[in-house]
Amino acid sequence: MTDNRTTYLGEYLVKKEVITREQLKKALQVQEERTKRGEQVYLGNIIVELGYCSDEVIAKVLASKFEVPYFNVEDTEITEKVINMIPRRTANRYKVFPLKLEGNQLIVAMMNPIDYSALDDLNIVTGKEVKPVMIKDRDLKKLIAKVSEKYSRDIESFEYFKYSSRSKSERTRSGRLNITVTGSNDGSPVVQLLNKILNLAVQERANDVHIEPQKDKINIRFRIDGVIRNRLSIALDYHEALVSRIKVLGNMDITDSRSPQDGRISVENDGEHIDIRAASIPSYYGERVTLRMLFSEPGLLKMTSLGMEKDQLAKMKRIIRYPHGCILLCGPTGSGKSTTLYSVLTEINDDQTNIMTVEDPIERVIDGINQVQYNRKAGITFSSSLSSMLRSHPDVIMVGEIRDAETGAMVTEAALTGHLVMSTIHASDSSKGILHLMDMGVEPYLVESSLTCVVAQRLLRRLCASCKVKNTVSREKLLKYLPDFPLDDGNTIELYESKGCTLCDNTGYVGRTGVFEILMISDNIRSAIKDTQSATKINGIAVAEGMVPMRLNALQKVKEGISSLEEFHRLFI
Give the residue, 277 or 268, on which the prediction is more confident: 277
Number of domains comprising the chain: 3
103 in a domain, yes or no? no
Q: What average pLDDT score do residues 59-87 get? A: 83
**pLDDT top residue among 205 and 210:** 210
pLDDT confidence tier of residue 295, bands split at 50, 70 and 90: confident
Q: Would you say residue 14 lies in a domain?
A: yes
pLDDT at 107: 92
* pLDDT interval class at 175 (50, 70, 90): very low
pLDDT at residue 171 above 70? no
pLDDT value at 435 more than 90: yes
Task: Answer whether residue 289 is part of any domain.
Answer: yes
Same structural domain, 333 and 406: yes
Judge whether residue 379 has pLDDT over 90: no
- Whether residue 26 lies inside any domain: the answer is yes
pLDDT at residue 157, rounded to an integer? 35
Are 441 and 532 part of one and the same domain? yes
Note the pLDDT of residue 177. 41
Q: pLDDT tens digit string along 211-232? A: 999 988 899 999 998 889 888 8
Confidence of residue 385 (pLDDT cuts 50, 70, 90): confident
Q: What is the mean pLDDT of residues 1-16?
A: 67
The CATH number of whichever domain residue 257 belongs to comes to: 3.30.450.90
- Does one domain contain both 281 and 420? no
The CATH code of the domain that includes 387 is 3.40.50.300
d(CA 494, CA 560): 9
β-strands 370-373, 355-359 pairing: parallel
E-strand ranges in 300-373 read: 325-330, 355-359, 370-373
Give the mean model confidence (pLDDT) for residues 438-464.
95
Position 151 confidence tier, pLDDT thresholds 50, 70, 90: very low
Structural domain span for residue 544: 299-459+514-548
Q: Is the pLDDT of residue 199 over 50?
A: yes
pLDDT at residue 165 is higher than 60:
no
Lowest mean pLDDT among 2-16, 189-203, 262-276, 311-325: 2-16
3 state SS of 276: strand
Query: Domain ends where: 236, 268, 295?
Result: 295
Mean pLDDT of 327-356: 93
Cα separation, 13 vs 335, in Å, equals: 50
Do residues 43 and 172 both lie within one domain? Answer: no
Task: Kindly provide the b/e burial profile for residues 48-85, where b requires at least 16 CB atoms within 10 angstroms of the residue's own CB.
Answer: beeebbebebbbbbbbebbebeebebeeeebeeebbbb
Asked if residue 376 and residue 332 are part of one domain, the reply reads yes
Q: Are both 232 and 276 inside the same structural domain?
A: yes
pLDDT at residue 127 greater than cutoff 90? no
Residues 320, 251 within the same domain: no
Q: What pLDDT, on the 0 to 100 scale, is given for residue 170?
A: 35
Helices (H) and strands (E) in the chain, counts: 22, 19
| Range with top average pLDDT, 142-156, 267-281, 381-395, 451-465 | 451-465
Q: Give backbone dihedrals phi and psi of 478, rounded to 5 degrees, phi first.
A: -65, -45
Confidence of residue 173 (pLDDT cuts 50, 70, 90): very low
DSSP string, 100-122: EEETTEEEEEESSTT-HHHHHHH
Q: Is residue 565 part of a domain?
A: no
Whether 90 maps to a domain, the answer reads: no
Residues 314 and 424 in one domain: yes
Domain termination site, one of 67, 90, 105: 67
Cα 145 from chain centroid?
22
Q: Which of 9-13, 408-412, 483-487, 526-530 has maximum average pLDDT?
A: 526-530
Of the three residues 267, 295, 323, the one that is the final residue of a domain is 295
**Which residue, 132, 137, 144, 112, is CA-closest to 54?**
137
Same domain? For 410 and 533 the reply is yes
- Opening angle at CA 444, ends 439 and 446, nearest 5: 115
What is the residue-averaged pLDDT of the chain?
A: 84
State CA 121 to chain mean position distance.
Answer: 20
pLDDT, average across residues 323-333: 94
* Residue-wise pLDDT tens digits, 53-71: 888 888 888 888 888 899 8
